[in-house]
Amino acid sequence: MLYKKTLRLLVLPLCLVACGEVEDTRPGQPVAHRQRAFKDILNRFEPMGIQLRQEGYEAESFLVHARQLAAIKDAPWAYFGADTQYPPSKADDALWTEMDTFNAERDKFLQAADALLVAAETRSADAARAAYAPVQESCRSCHKRYKH
Ligand code: HEC
């Protein structure tokens, strides 16, 4: 048992290097932190879309996801400080010269995530659907401009 666990702990970092992932070795790991924060956002957001598109709307679990999304929506932004553009970042350089526009895109997302929570609290499928779309649009819009 112990052997297996040790082996896994040894193999994982090797794979991270060998599989072509660049590790964030800078102090505080801002790139790794914001990427992790976005992955968490995706993990909260995606199940809502799956409900609306495939599985059918389930008001209580939709509300749980909407609450979780609202709770973590602020996480990535503090990690976009000056001098945080280096591998493995997938952000575009333009982000740092267009901070006002980037922040406006961010605020659209934050407001849409709040509105999604309000909609989820009504437990109406139509309201949830209508409020889901602007959040999705806010991800797409910012990625189109500032992520490759
Ligand atoms: C205001 C801009 C903005 C908004 C809004 C935004 N993102 Fe992103 N996202 C980025 C940027 C920039 C990156 C690249 C970060 C990096 O690699 O340094 C990114 C990266 C990601 C990644 C990849 C993380 C990785 O490990 O490479 C995922 C997944 C993601 N975003 C999901 C989402 C989802 C889902 C939403 C909406 C619910 C969203 N993002 C909203 C700007 C945004």
Q: Ligand 1 centroid to 75 CA: how many Å?
A: 11
Q: How many residues does the chain have?
A: 148
Between 88 and 1, name the one with better pLDDT: 88
Which string of b and e fits 52-88 if b means at least 16 CB within 10 Å? beeeeeeeeebbebbebbbeebeebbebbeeebeeee
pLDDT tens figures, 134-147: 999 999 999 999 99
Q: What is the mean pLDDT of residues 46-68?
A: 98
**139 alpha carbon – ligand 1 mean position (Å):** 7
Query: Which ligand 1 atom minimizes the distance to the CA of 103?
Result: 1
Task: Give residue 21's pLDDT.
Answer: 76
Cis peptide before 47 (omega within 30 of 0): no
Q: What pLDDT shows up at residue 143?
A: 98
